[in-house]
């Protein structure tokens, strides 16, 4: 990444913090002032009491942010994983090597205050094995689940009281070899509660986790596409709500909840007031210097063209057809427990900085979801339909 772009992005990140604090910096006026951020990232003061934290995983996308924040708060961290992903990270941290599928022996005979289960898979037997092994040697089990556990996202607002997937609701026989993602996570949640007990289990249900380090490009597509400028194919009419979460906001809050000894189940999306899709795209544009225009294309037209919500059109989910509450979560309990949301400017700038730190070949793959050629083709068809 060239020096001018790096300096620009660093300046924008700093500006994002000012926006989150209620100050509109010069050059960003009108861009992100309405993004619903409560305040900037909380100060990284040392915790009142140091915890011994075991993280299952810890070197993928969400784990490193948890580790970094936990260390900054004075906690002792141990990582358990196969040692294959980003093994160079955190050389000062104890690392135990094993396999959740077949070898947990490195965890035997040890004790920790908290275990954080970051597994991206939906295999309940992984949780069953680790929870049973650690139930007498850890005080608290934190399980990172998903918003996908909800079997019905039509209710407005959504809350943890919404029904989750069961074998019966999913139409799956118990003992099936392969489980739908949401069902597997819902079963995993319950296993953790059954083994550790309700008072010793903390479950998080994040939505789309975004920000620096995300190689799925599900949010990254939009900052990069807008950075390239020109006419941007934009889904729907701009009013569909969006609730996502910056990986740093999630990681920091998880650690603080562990410090507080919390238990229960919480949703992790943001901001607290859902952000319309148009506000998100215009907010992203405020962080770039590109000349950009947005062309809003009807949801039915996009469906007929084969551009799917959360697929070729990432982040976007029309608030209809059973998804009315998908991005309309009531976060009152979470905000009361200290969940905060950094500014959209901060997240966008950090995401772009991460993106441009990758190889040119990897950068190009951000458009695997929707190539510039296909975007232009759909835009041309849309304009033709409007003229007709």
Domain-wise residue ranges, the chain: 3-387
254-257 LR contacts (CB < 8 Å, sep 24+): 254/66, 254/116, 254/142, 254/144, 254/204, 255/53, 255/66, 255/69, 255/70, 255/73, 255/75, 256/42, 256/338, 257/142, 257/202, 257/337, 257/338
Determine contact, residues 283/289, Cβ cutoff 8 Å.
no
Reduced to 3 states, what is the DSSP secondary structure of residue 280? helix
| Alpha carbon distance 206, 146 (integer Å) | 5
How many residues appear in the chain? 388
Determine contact, residues 21/358, Cβ cutoff 8 Å.
no
Fold of 3-387: Rossmann fold (3.40.50)
Q: In Å, how far from its chain's centre is CA 11?
A: 24
pTM: 0.89
Q: Which secondary structure element, helix H or strand E, spans residue 14, and what is its range?
A: helix 3-20
Q: How many CA atoms lie within 13 A of 338 on its CB side?
A: 15
Write the CA distances from 224 to 29, 227, 234, integer angstroms.
21, 5, 14
Determine contact, residues 167/184, Cβ cutoff 8 Å.
no
Q: How many helices (H) and strands (E) does the chain have?
A: 13, 12
Burial 246-269 (b: 16+ CB within 10 A, else e): bbbbbbbbbbbbbbeeebebbbbb
DSSP-derived secondary structure letter, 158 = B
Phi, psi of 274 (to 5 degrees): -50, 140
| Alpha carbon distance 281, 230 (integer Å) | 13
Name the one residue in this structure whose structure tokens are 């294959």: 84
| Per-position pLDDT tens, the chain of length 388 | 444 444 444 444 444 443 333 322 222 222 222 333 333 444 579 999 999 999 999 999 999 999 999 999 999 999 999 999 999 999 999 999 999 999 999 999 999 999 999 988 899 999 999 999 999 999 999 999 999 999 999 999 999 999 999 999 999 999 898 999 999 999 999 999 999 999 999 999 999 999 999 999 999 999 999 999 999 999 999 999 999 999 999 999 999 999 999 999 999 999 999 999 999 999 999 999 999 999 999 999 999 999 999 999 999 999 999 999 999 999 999 999 999 999 999 999 999 999 999 999 999 999 999 999 999 999 999 999 999 7
| Alpha carbon distance 137, 107 (integer Å) | 10
- Pairing type for strands 201-206 and 230-235 reads unpaired
DSSP-derived secondary structure letter, 86 = S
| Alpha carbon distance 153, 207 (integer Å) | 12
Number of other residues whose CB lies within 10 A of the CB of residue 333:
14
């Amino acid at each position: 990444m060239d020096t001018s772009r790096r300096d620009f992005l660093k300046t924008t990140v700093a500006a994002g913090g000012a926006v989150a604090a209620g100050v509109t910096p010069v050059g960003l006026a009108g861009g992100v002032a309405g993004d619903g951020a409560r305040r900037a990232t909380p100060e990284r003061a040392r915790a009142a009491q140091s915890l011994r934290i075991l993280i299952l995983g810890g070197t993928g996308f969400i784990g490193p942010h948890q580790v970094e924040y936990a260390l900054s708060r004075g906690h002792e961290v141990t990582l358990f994983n196969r040692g294959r992903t980003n093994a160079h990270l955190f050389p000062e941290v104890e690392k135990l090597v094993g396999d959740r599928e077949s070898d947990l022996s490195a965890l035997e005979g040890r004790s920790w205050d908290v275990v954080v289960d970051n597994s991206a898979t939906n295999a309940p037997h992984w949780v069953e094995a680790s929870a049973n092994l650690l139930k007498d040697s850890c005080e608290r089990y934190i399980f990172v689940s998903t918003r996908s556990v909800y079997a019905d996202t039509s209710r407005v607002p959504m809350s943890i009281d919404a029904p989750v997937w069961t074998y019966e609701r999913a139409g799956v026989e118990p003992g099936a070899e392969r489980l739908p993602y949401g069902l597997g996570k819902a079963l995993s949640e319950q296993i953790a509660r059954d083994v550790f007990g309700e008072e010793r289990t903390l479950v998080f249900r994040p939505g789309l986790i975004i920000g620096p380090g995300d190689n799925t490009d599900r949010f990254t597509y939009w900052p990069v596409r807008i950075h390239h400028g020109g006419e941007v194919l934009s889904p729907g009419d701009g009013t569909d709500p969006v609730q996502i979460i910056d990986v740093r906001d999630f990681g920091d809050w998880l650690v603080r909840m562990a410090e507080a000894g919390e238990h229960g189940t919480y949703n992790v999306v943001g901001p607290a007031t859902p952000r319309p899709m148009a506000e998100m795209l215009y907010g992203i544009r405020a962080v770039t210097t590109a000349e950009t225009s947005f062309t809003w294309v009807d949801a039915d037209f996009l469906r007929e063209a084969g551009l799917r919500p959360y697929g070729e059109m990432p982040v976007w989910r029309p608030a209809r057809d059973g998804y009315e509450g998908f991005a309309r979560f009531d976060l009152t309990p979470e905000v009361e427990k200290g969940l905060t949301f950094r500014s959209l400017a901060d997240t966008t700038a950090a995401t772009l900085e991460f993106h441009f730190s990758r190889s040119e070949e990897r950068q190009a793959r951000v458009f695997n979801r929707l190539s510039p050629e296909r975007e232009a083709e759909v835009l041309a068809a849309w304009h033709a339909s409007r003229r007709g």
